[in-house]
């Protein structure tokens, strides 16, 4: 992301309220018009800023990359949580690696059968900024089933007991800085080991339009770890590069096609994007994604 300046070719000199995340290798950028900077902090790991925007509500930016806005974050949070939870036959123990804004935690805890959710994010300041500027995402932080820990997720997973989790959700930023190792084969192999039989791993796996290599590498590492079924769910996310993103579901000997359609249709909580049809359709990737993943 490049803040607006008089020197930037993307902005007129009089228009100083636009900020843009640029993707140089694609020759692309996405811009939002802001009304003010609300907050900024340099944590031990990264720079976190929050802006008020003209139409998108609040915007969180981490190390110059757009993370979420008030307007559209629900799509991502619902898709990295509900497909896995409605596929597993009886999810009780869920681990979230990353997820510091707590939106995914909120969605997971909507499932009444879940007994425990442990969230491990290395940067406490992401959660504190979310509590301050995105309080709607943090409604469930005090749920007695939630255990928020601020620690190294790679280390946590390396030290976790075998067969101790039903679902592991890797809700990470891009594979740079503190999140880089969350896309690596050693971490993914640890996730496989920690899952019980029939367990599911979910990983943020970038946009196939802009980062197909990252998506392929995630699937390659999952295949080597032993995951029997893998699906890249593609869905819209307007503020992310390319306007879309994938999360990848990988199962430990559980068919991902056979999700609990009746339970999903009769869910006892509201969603704004996820439903049975969206889930069913997302299991079939676009042809260019299917071909790329079959080639690994």
pLDDT-derived band at 16 (thresholds 50, 70, 90) equals low
pLDDT of 25 strictly over 80 = yes
pLDDT at residue 54, rounded to an integer: 96
pTM: 0.93
CA separation, residue 11 to residues 8, 22, 34, 55, 191 (Å): 6, 13, 13, 19, 44
Q: What is the mean pLDDT of residues 216-233?
A: 96
pLDDT of 223 strictly over 90 = yes
Q: pLDDT for 125-156, tens place per residue? A: 999 999 999 999 999 999 999 999 999 999 99
| In contact, 281 and 234? CB cutoff 8 Å | no
**How would you classify the pairing of strands 146-150 and 116-121?**
parallel
The torsion angle over the Cα atoms of residues 114, 88, 203 and 80, rounded to 10 degrees, is -60
Where are the chain's structural domains? 2-69, 73-294
Provide the mean pLDDT of the chain: 93
pLDDT of 13 strictly over 80 = no
pLDDT of 7 strictly over 80 = no
CATH top-level class of 73-294: alpha beta
Q: pLDDT for 155-210, tens place per residue? A: 999 999 999 999 999 999 777 677 778 889 999 999 999 999 999 999 999 999 99
| In contact, 30 and 66? CB cutoff 8 Å | yes
Task: Determine the longest span between alpha carbons in the chain, in angstroms.
Answer: 59
Q: What is the mean pLDDT of residues 2-19?
A: 50
CA separation, residue 188 to residues 195, 234, 250, 265 (Å): 11, 20, 10, 31
pLDDT at residue 181, rounded to an integer: 83
| In contact, 1 and 22? CB cutoff 8 Å | yes
| In contact, 69 and 56? CB cutoff 8 Å | yes
The residues annotated as belonging to the active site are 171
pLDDT at residue 73, rounded to an integer: 98
pLDDT at residue 180, rounded to an integer: 77
Could you identify the residue written with the tokens 């295949």? 223
Percent of the chain beyond pLDDT 70?
Answer: 94
pLDDT-derived band at 233 (thresholds 50, 70, 90) equals very high
Residue 110, classified by CB atoms within 10 Å of its CB into exposed (0-12), middle (13-18) or buried (19+), is: middle
pLDDT of 3 strictly over 70 = no
pLDDT of 6 strictly over 70 = no
Enter the DSSP assignment of 51: E
Q: pLDDT for 62-121, tens place per residue? A: 999 999 999 999 999 999 999 999 999 999 999 999 999 999 999 999 999 999 999 999
CATH architecture of residue range(s) 2-69: Roll (2.30)
| In contact, 286 and 234? CB cutoff 8 Å | yes
pLDDT-derived band at 1 (thresholds 50, 70, 90) equals very low
């Amino acid at each position: 992301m490049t803040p607006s300046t008089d020197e930037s070719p993307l902005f007129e000199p009089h228009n100083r309220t636009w900020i843009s995340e640029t993707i140089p290798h694609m020759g692309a950028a996405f811009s939002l018009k802001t009304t003010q900077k609300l907050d900024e902090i340099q944590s031990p790991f990264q720079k976190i800023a929050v802006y008020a925007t003209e139409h998108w509500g609040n915007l969180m930016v981490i190390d110059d990359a757009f993370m979420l806005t008030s307007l559209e974050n629900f799509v991502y949070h619902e898709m990295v949580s509900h497909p896995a939870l409605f596929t597993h036959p009886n999810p009780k123990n869920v681990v979230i690696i990353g997820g510091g804004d707590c939106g995914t935690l909120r969605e997971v805890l909507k499932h009444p059968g879940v007994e425990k959710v442990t969230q491990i994010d290395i940067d406490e300041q992401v959660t504190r900024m979310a509590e301050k500027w995105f309080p709607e995402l943090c409604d469930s932080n005090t749920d007695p089933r939630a255990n928020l820990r601020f620690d190294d997720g790679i280390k946590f997973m390396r030290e976790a007991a075998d067969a101790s989790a039903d679902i592991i959700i890797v809700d990470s930023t891009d594979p740079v800085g503190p999140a880089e190792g969350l896309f690596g084969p050693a971490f993914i192999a640890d996730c496989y080991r920690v899952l019980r039989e029939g367990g599911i791993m979910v990983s943020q796996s970038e946009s196939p339009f802009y980062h197909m290599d990252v998506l392929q590498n995630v699937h390659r590492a999952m295949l080597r770890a032993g995951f029997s079924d893998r699906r890249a769910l593609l869905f819209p996310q307007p503020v992310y590069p390319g306007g879309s993103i994938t999360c990848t579901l990988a199962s430990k000997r559980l068919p991902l096609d056979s999700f609990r359609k009746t339970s999903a249709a009769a869910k006892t909580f509201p969603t704004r994007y996820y439903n049975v049809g969206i889930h069913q359709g997302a299991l079939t990737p676009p042809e260019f994604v299917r071909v790329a993943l079959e080639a690994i």
